[in-house]
């Protein structure tokens, strides 16, 4: 039973954690097992091969660490860098801010490139820094692919082009927590050295697995990286990979079975189809926001996110009241505005195991909430705009043709 019961299902539209598919829930509904038995290593081997596909890599080495995205951040940093190393890191919202805080507390020399919240990473500044760094003092570029606080997606292909243009050897470390398996992500093609995601986002699992994928160049960097690492040490994993047992400590058996089921669903739908579905959900949401007469926090179309939309509210409305009203009256969970945009935006998450009709239900709920808090919305306006677009763009379900 829910701690605070509400009839029907909770409409979960925060940008993570997200809805869990019923087959995944059923797969996790099982007893514990001996992870040293032949069964778990056999399943782990297939999981390691299959998670590479969601990163679009054939050369990367994945690590499935029992942690959150924050732990995955630390794993990426400490396995490849040494205290005092210079990092260029982009501050564009709350989660890039938190990663920068972690970088500083781990004693790296962080060169922060800050943009106004609602803008993407300033790649012109990156170009200037790379051009000036003839002695290659910059050891890594750290960038959040999709900043969920503001609904901004950065262009990773351009980052790689800049690194190649200036012949710079810096590692490219990418937070793909709210992008991988929902937005276009190409680890090998874009020359990403470390990419990471969390199980509670587009994979549509409970929180608890931080998946990190390292390029051969990143693995080579571990040989000279002097950061202290114990729990997150890739070398411990690699030792057990060679032994064929795969786990240096106890994994969550239930989450592994859940991940197996989640990947099977992803491959059945097709990763490219999933990316297209998220594109439709993002576009439909933005059309609804426009029909309501509200603005997107994201300032340019090139930065629009297809996994989360941050909606700016008029100054006379506190956006936290929208979130509270949604949960208390309509059993609808929306994302709060965080830090600099607290009280100014609410966030609609549209990622993971989610379809178009579910989204329309959310948009209808948001319209009623806006009416409740005194915003002069025309009921049905956003739903109509989104429906008109979706009706013309939703494909047939492949398995039902």
Give pLDDT tens digits for 103-151. 999 999 999 999 999 999 999 999 999 999 999 999 999 999 999 999 9
Q: List the one residue out of 252, 148, 270, 269 whose CA is nearest residue 206.
A: 252
Q: What pTM was estimated for this model as a whole? A: 0.97
Confidence band, pLDDT 50/70/90 cuts, at residue 3:
confident
Average pLDDT over every residue of 340-364: 98
- 142-172 per-position pLDDT tens digit: 999 999 999 999 999 999 999 999 999 999 9
Taking residue 249's Cβ as centre, other Cβ atoms within 10 Å add up to 11
- 235-289 per-position pLDDT tens digit: 999 999 999 999 999 999 999 999 999 999 999 999 999 999 999 999 999 999 9
- How many CA atoms within 13 Å lie on the side-chain side of 357? 0
Q: How remote is the C-alpha of 373 from its chain's centroid?
A: 30
Residues making up the annotated binding site are 347
- Judge contact between 46 and 264, C-beta under 8 A: no
pLDDT cut 90: percent of the chain above it: 97
- 72-89 per-position pLDDT tens digit: 999 999 999 999 999 999
Confidence band, pLDDT 50/70/90 cuts, at residue 4:
confident
Q: What is the domain class of 9-16+269-390 according to CATH?
A: alpha beta
* Pair of tokens at residue 17: 């954690």
- 278-300 per-position pLDDT tens digit: 999 999 999 999 999 999 999 99
Helix 39-55 vs helix 253-269: crossing angle, to nearest 10? 40
Q: Which position has the token pair 């239900």?
A: 361
Q: List the one residue out of 270, 274, 279 whose CA is nearest residue 353.
A: 274
**179 has a pLDDT exceeding 80:** yes
Taking residue 37's Cβ as centre, other Cβ atoms within 10 Å add up to 9
Q: What is the pLDDT of residue 353?
A: 95
Q: What is the pLDDT of residue 56?
A: 98
Query: Which architecture does CATH list for 20-265?
Result: 3-Layer(aba) Sandwich (3.40)
Q: What is the pLDDT of residue 5?
A: 87
Q: What is the pLDDT of residue 1?
A: 60
Indicate the domain borders of the chain: 9-16+269-390, 20-265
Residues making up the annotated binding site for substrate are 347
């Amino acid at each position: 039973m829910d701690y605070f019961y509400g009839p029907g299902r909770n409409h979960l539209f925060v940008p993570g954690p997200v809805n869990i598919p019923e087959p995944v829930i059923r797969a996790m509904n099982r007893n514990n097992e001996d992870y040293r038995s032949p069964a778990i290593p056999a399943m782990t081997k297939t999981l390691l091969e299959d998670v590479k596909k969601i990163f679009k890599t054939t050369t990367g080495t994945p690590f499935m660490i029992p942690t959150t995205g924050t732990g995955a951040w630390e794993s990426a940093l400490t396995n490849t860098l040494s205290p005092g190393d210079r990092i260029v890191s982009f501050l564009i919202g709350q989660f890039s801010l938190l990663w920068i805080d972690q970088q500083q507390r781990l004693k790296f020399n962080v060169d922060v490139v800050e943009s106004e919240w609602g803008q993407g990473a300033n790649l012109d500044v990156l170009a200037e820094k790379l051009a000036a760094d003839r002695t290659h003092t910059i050891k890594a570029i750290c960038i959040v692919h999709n900043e969920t606080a503001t609904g901004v997606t950065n262009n990773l292909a351009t980052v790689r082009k800049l690194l190649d243009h200036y012949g710079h050897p810096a590692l490219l470390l990418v937070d793909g927590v709210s992008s991988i398996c929902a937005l276009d992500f190409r680890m090998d093609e874009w020359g990403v050295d470390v990419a990471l995601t969390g199980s509670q986002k587009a994979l549509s699992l409970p929180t608890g697995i931080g998946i990190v994928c390292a390029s051969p160049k990143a693995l080579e960097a571990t040989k000279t990286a002097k950061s202290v690492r114990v729990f997150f040490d890739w070398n411990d994993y690699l030792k057990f990979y060679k032994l064929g047992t795969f786990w240096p400590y106890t994994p969550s058996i239930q989450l592994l079975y859940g991940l197996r089921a989640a990947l099977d669903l992803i491959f059945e739908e097709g990763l490219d189809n999933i990316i297209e579905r998220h594109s439709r959900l993002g576009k439909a949401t933005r059309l609804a926001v426009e029909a309501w007469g509200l603005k997107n926090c994201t300032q340019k179309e090139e930065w629009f996110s297809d996994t989360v939309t941050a909606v700016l509210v008029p100054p006379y409305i506190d956006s936290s009241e929208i979130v509270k009203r949604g949960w208390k009256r309509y059993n609808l969970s929306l994302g709060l505005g965080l830090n600099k945009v607290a009280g100014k935006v609410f966030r609609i998450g549209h990622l993971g195991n989610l379809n178009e009709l579910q989204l329309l239900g959310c948009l209808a709920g948001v319209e009623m909430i806006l009416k409740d808090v005194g915003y002069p919305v025309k009921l049905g306006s956003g739903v109509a705009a989104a429906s008109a677009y979706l009706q013309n763009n939703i494909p047939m379900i492949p398995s039902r043709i």
